[in-house]
A and B are shown apart, each in its own frame.
Chain A
Amino acid sequence: MHLMYFTEQPMSAYDSKKGLDFGATALMFSNSNFDPVAGSRLYNEYIEQYKLAEKVNFDGIMLNEHHNAPFCMQAKANVFAAVLAAVTERVKIVMLGNPLPLADNPLRLAEELAMIDMISRGRLVSGFVRGGGQEQLATGVNPAYNRERFEEAHDLIVRAWTQPGPFRFEGTHYQHRVVNPWAVPLQKPYPRVWIPGVVSRETIIWAAQQRYPYIALNTSIEATKKIWETYEQAAQEVGYTSGPENRGYLQRVHVAETEEKAVANARQFMWMQGEFTGLAHPVWSSPSGYFSPTQRRSFVEFATGRAVSPRGRPDFQQQLNDMQIIAGTPKTVIPKLRRILEETRPGIMALWANDGTVSHEDSKTCIRLLGEEVLPALRETGAKLGLNSPFDNNAPVGIKYSTDLRKPAAAAS
Chain B
Amino acid sequence: MAGSIAWNETSIAIAGVKLHLARAGKGRPLVVLHHDTGTLDRLPFYDALAERFDVLVPHHPGYGKSERPQWLRHPRDIAVMYRWLLSELDVALPVLVGLGFGGWVAAEMATASPRDVGALALVGAMGVKPPQGDILDQALMSYMDYVKAGFHQQSAMDSVYGAEPSTDQLVEWDVCREMSFRIAWKPYMYSQTLPHLLGGVKAKALVVHGDDDRVVPRSAAEVYAKGLANAKLEIVKGCGHYVEMEKPKELAALVTALAGGN
Contact = CB atoms under 8 A, between A and B. Distances in A.
B181 A289 contact: yes
B186 A142 contact: yes
A144 B171 contact: no
Contacts, number: 55
Contact of B178 (A282, A289, A306): A289
A279 to B, nearest CB: 15
A304 B139 contact: no
Interface residues of B, number: 18
Interface stretch (B79-87, B116-124, B140-148, B240-248): B140-148
B174 interface: yes
Nearest to A305: B142
A215 B247 CA distance: 55
A291 B170 CA distance: 15
A144 B72 CA distance: 12
A202 interface: no
Interface string A279-306: 0001110011100000011011101101
A28 interface: yes
Interface in A127-167: 137, 140, 142-145
Nearest to B172: A300
B197 interface: no
A289 B182 contact: yes
Interface string A250-289: 0000000000000000000000000000000011100111
B175 interface: yes
Given A288-B174, A296-B174, A301-B170, A142 B143 contact: no
Interface string B125-160: 000000000000001111110000000000000000
A70 B164 CA distance: 35
B4 interface: no
Contacts of A300: 143, 167, 170-171, 173-174
Nearest to B142: A283
A296 B181 contact: no
Contacts of B141: 283
Contacts of A301: 167, 170
A279 B139 CA distance: 17
A295 to B, nearest CB: 10
Nearest to B187: A140
A144 B185 contact: yes
B177 interface: yes
Given A142-B182, A144-B178, A137 B139 contact: yes
A139 B12 CA distance: 38
Contacts of A137: 139-140
A315 B181 CA distance: 36
B167 A297 contact: yes
Nearest to B71: A172
A303 B177 CA distance: 14
A143 B140 CA distance: 13
Contacts of A287: 139, 181
B117 to A, nearest CB: 31
B143 A304 contact: yes
A354 to B, nearest CB: 32
A299 B167 CA distance: 10
B139 A140 contact: no
A284 B143 contact: no
Contacts of B142: 282-283, 303-304
Given A283-B139, A289-B182, 10 more contacts: A142-B181, A144-B185, A283-B140, A283-B141, A283-B142, A284-B140, A296-B175, A297-B167, A301-B170, A303-B142
10 contacts: A28-B140, A142-B181, A142-B185, A142-B186, A287-B139, A288-B174, A288-B175, A289-B181, A300-B167, A303-B143
